[in-house]
Copies of this chain bind each other. A is one copy, B any other.
Amino acid sequence: MSPMIGFDEIRKLAQVTPSRIVLLVMDGVGGLPHPDTGKTELETANTPNLDKLAVESICGMAYTVSPGITPGSAPGHMSLFGYDPLKYQFGRGIVEALGLDIEVAPGDVVVRGNFCSVDDDGVITDRRAGRIPTETCREQCAMLNQGVAVTGVQVDFFAGKDHRFVMRLRGEGLSQNVGDTDPQHEGMQPLVPEALEPSATKTAAIAADIVSQARTILKDRHPANMFVLRGFSERPDYPSINDIYGLTPACIAPYPMYRGVSRVVGMDILPAGDTLEDEIATLKQNYDKYDYFFMHYKKTDATGEDGNFEGKVAAIEAYDRLLPSILDLNPDVVIVTGDHSTPAGLAGHSWHTVPVLLSAKYCRKDEVTAYSETACLRGGLGVFPAMELMPLAMANALKLNKFGA
């Protein structure tokens, strides 16, 4: 383990130059060998363009959080953006809000909600209200938006999938330090929202008032005749990529979750469209306006989560086919990696390292000639924490001055 340089030091070294960094994230790209062939998804896929790029790159295998830890999407991306994901964490409420593309301003408090079923005594009989359809959830949220009123605080309900929603409080002097109302068990009444520290007394009282109003508004809406709240959280106040690295960063990501994390680190959010072609078009149109681009590709993760080995292979091959149109822009630094592995064999995120490729004029190429888990292990970056990628990208873009005399 090598000690990692801190933001304070990086700030002193960073300089603005015309060079450009493009971070290409294939979500969940790492995999595991197929039992029949012994080859991973990446090793099975025909990827002439990625392999050609690997020849011109320095490669390695990265942990995005910590050895053995299976990263969620938010910590996985924070690491790729250069932030220690164990330090720069996100509350549950904020992650849910980001995933719904809800605007969360500084000072707002958001919380994740579940509609639930309660009996005549207010005791929870189903914590998920029989997983009501999303359409019903939207109706419920509309009723609450119309019915709930708190003096001096704007309260908004945003429907999520099935029984899930987000409640946003906007006003003066709010605090995230309020306890959940979700007792995590059926057979109990929802808890009274409790101030976890004195500064949160007002917010807890507001939450209690809202809960009380909601009880009346929802009373005839069985099975979704009540709700429980979890993870009161504010938008984290983290230093921006611009502040730390002097970069002008942009995000191209079709899914709200990734846009949300990018927003927290101060990226401009560009329209991503629906397809990879759309994303590349956006990249080209905005190429002169930014010096750091994060481009997100979801299909590798989605197919992996489905346990669809062949689908993931196809998603990788589709990406490979379009890679040359990105490289045509001649970015000074290109990184290809994932935010975590999603082996089809596990049908979910996993703890395994992700292959990394960094291509740049002065990158000290290694002997790796393919972009895959086995090949990248022999690369010049070794097995390393992904949060080191950002300083490496900066260095390879010749944007970092010498440290010390």
Contacts and interface: CB of A to CB of B under 8 A. Distances in A.
Nearest to A393: B68
A345 B373 CA distance: 31
Given A350-B362, A362-B346, A72 B404 contact: yes
A403 B367 CA distance: 34
B66 A3 contact: yes
Nearest to A379: B377
A74 B403 CA distance: 9
A139 to B, nearest CB: 26
Nearest to A40: B364
What's the number of copies of this chain in the assembled complex?
2
Interface stretch (A83-91, A151-159, A161-169, A277-285): A83-91
Interface string A338-369: 00000101101111110000000010111100
Contacts of A61: 380, 382
A405 B73 contact: yes
Contacts of A2: 1, 63, 66-67, 385
A388 interface: yes
Interface stretch (A142-150, A322-330, A394-402): A394-402
Interface residues of A, number: 74
Contacts of A383: 60, 380-384
A67 B13 contact: no
B353 A380 contact: yes
A392 interface: yes
Interface in A51-100: 60-61, 63, 65-76, 84-87, 89-90, 92, 95-96, 99
A391 B66 contact: yes
Interface stretch (A4-12, A247-255, A296-304): A4-12
Interface of A: 1-6, 9, 13, 32-33, 60-61, 63, 65-76, 84-87, 89-90, 92, 95-96, 99, 343, 345-346, 348-353, 362, 364-367, 373-374, 377-378, 380-385, 387-388, 390-396, 400-405
